[in-house]
Amino acid sequence: MKLRSVRGTHDIFGENIRKNALIEKIVTRKAELNSFQKIETPIFEFSELFAKPLGEQSDVVLKEMYSFKDRNEEMLTLRPEYTTPMIRAAITNNLLNELPLKIFGLGAMFRRERPQKGRYRQFNQINFEIFGTNDFMADLELIVLGNDILKSILPNSKFILNLNTLGQKNNLKEYKNKLTNYFKDKKEKLSDESKEKILSNPLRILDSNNDKDIMISSNAPNIQEFISTEEKNHFLDIKKGLDFLKIKYVENNKLVRGLDYYCSTVFEFKTSELGSQNTLLGGGRYDGLIGVLGGPDIPGIGWAAGIERISMLMNSTNSNFTKVHLAISDKKYRSQIQNIMKYLRENNISFYWNYKYNLKKSLSKANFNKIEYVIIIGEDEFNNNFYSIRNLNTGKQSKLNENEIKKFLND
């Protein structure tokens, strides 16, 4: 068998590991600053958790879930998204006693999509949710937090916030019926993919990238006509808040999101730097979902961002976290090596040694890796119990006793 990884999966190492570590660090800090509690849920759940909330007719449920029968015949699914598992965890662990609940998590999701740049079958998401309030301030807080996180990780990238409101579930239902009727009449002019969605999921025709669909959609009924005054005011308040905070946005009445549980506010941060997989972060309200899953009838809102897509836009990170290399000329000096390693470990000074007893090879490795300092142990150092430290940037070499090293490296 030829050794290979599964299509749509990838190994993360080197530069990308460093980028992911930085993303996690920034996200965790921002979460702390905004008082979100971290939660981790299992990678698989009972399949029935997902089908209804995400939509029996959504692409994710129809074609993309990794589901399998466990040995006891129970159907399990690798989580395709994090919102439903988070709600499940909040309900089963009684976390909804004190509201609002603000939680976040990072982790792997699985969808059997057609892989392409920015779209994978195993990918990582950052996810933030607030359960238990319908105050527009929560919508605003989450959008602002998303903007803040993206800006902190990607100071040199351009992305733009797209906003829409879908109204409450009953308005949305009415709107979907109107859309179905509208598209039915124009069925022959739609793409094959959209034809299939006329009855089941007409909203998705609105955000199709196909030119024929875009043409037909341009005259489709506008969602704004179906939205209650209360919902309109909720949306207006969010927009006023964004204006007040000077966060730019575009109002996009065709923004509908891919999962079925949404209503009211929906939003996406999009970039033009990634080709067709251009959404960095997406989310919205899902009032009603927590009740559908067996919890109390409380509202919820959240977003998720794709770590791989963010990472693709990041500048390279500095890989030089090693402070000193060791260079040893002979096996005879092993006790000295152990001493210096013990000293460096105890003083939290990062070090590297290539297990070679060859000054030239160790020095050239340090030069290649652009390391600043090398600690040298040769005959003179061993016999007279001192260490030579060379600064590779200046070429200057100093003789030091062990207890002088820390201060020297820190100065």
Contact 163, 238 (CB under 8 A): yes
The DSSP letter of residue 317 is P
What are the backbone angles phi and psi of residue 314, rounded to the nearest 5°?
-80, 150
In the set 20, 127, 147, 311, which binds ligand HAM (CB under 6 A)? 127
Q: In angstroms, what is the minimal distance from the CB of 132 to ligand HAM? A: 14
235-274 footprint of ligand HAM as x/- string (CB under 6 A): -----------------------xx---------------
User: Which of 130/198 has CB closer to ligand HAM?
Assistant: 130
Q: In angstroms, what is the minimal distance from the CB of 265 to ligand HAM? A: 10
Q: In angstroms, what is the minimal distance from the CB of 123 to ligand HAM? A: 4
The DSSP letter of residue 249 is E
Binding to ligand HAM (CB under 6 A) within 354-383 occurs at none
User: Which of 108/392 has CB closer to ligand HAM?
Assistant: 108
Q: In angstroms, what is the minimal distance from the CB of 284 to ligand HAM? A: 6
Q: Cα 116 from chain centroid?
A: 17
User: Which of 34/339 has CB closer to ligand HAM?
Assistant: 34
Amino acid (one-letter) located at 329: S
Q: In angstroms, what is the minimal distance from the CB of 327 to ligand HAM? A: 44
The residue number with the shortest CB distance to ligand HAM is 306
Three-state SS at 400: strand
What are the backbone angles phi and psi of residue 46, rounded to the nearest 5°?
-65, 135
Binding to ligand HAM (CB under 6 A) within 84-123 occurs at 111, 113, 118-120, 123
Three-state SS at 403: helix
Q: How many CB atoms lie within 10 A of CB 10?
A: 14
Three-state SS at 250: strand
Helices (H), 245-371: 289-292, 307-313, 334-346, 359-368
207 near ligand HAM (CB under 6 A):
no
| Bond into 100 cis (ω within 30) | yes
273-292 footprint of ligand HAM as x/- string (CB under 6 A): ------xxxxxx--------
Amino acid (one-letter) located at 157: S
User: Which of 127/362 has CB closer to ligand HAM?
Assistant: 127
303 near ligand HAM (CB under 6 A):
yes
148-187 footprint of ligand HAM as x/- string (CB under 6 A): ----------------------------------------
Q: In angstroms, what is the minimal distance from the CB of 8 to ligand HAM? A: 8
Size of the site for ligand HAM (CB under 6 A): 27
User: Which of 305/376 has CB closer to ligand HAM?
Assistant: 305
In the set 302, 329, 373, 376, which binds ligand HAM (CB under 6 A)? 302
User: Which of 193/380 has CB closer to ligand HAM?
Assistant: 193
Rounded Cα gap, residues 231 and 284, in angstroms: 14
Rounded Cα gap, residues 316 and 314, in angstroms: 6
Q: Which of 394, 376, 311, 338 is nearest to 18 (CA)?
A: 311
User: Which of 279/329 has CB closer to ligand HAM?
Assistant: 279
In the set 39, 140, 305, 409, which binds ligand HAM (CB under 6 A)? 305
77 near ligand HAM (CB under 6 A):
no
Q: Write the CB contacts of 108 (distance below 8 Å, at least 6 apart in sequence).
A: 43, 122, 123, 124
Contact 331, 357 (CB under 8 A): yes
Amino acid (one-letter) located at 108: A
Cα-trace Rg, the chain: 28
Q: Where do contacts with ligand HAM occur on this chain (CB under 6 A)? A: 81-83, 111, 113, 118-120, 123, 125, 127, 129, 258-259, 279-284, 302-306, 308-309
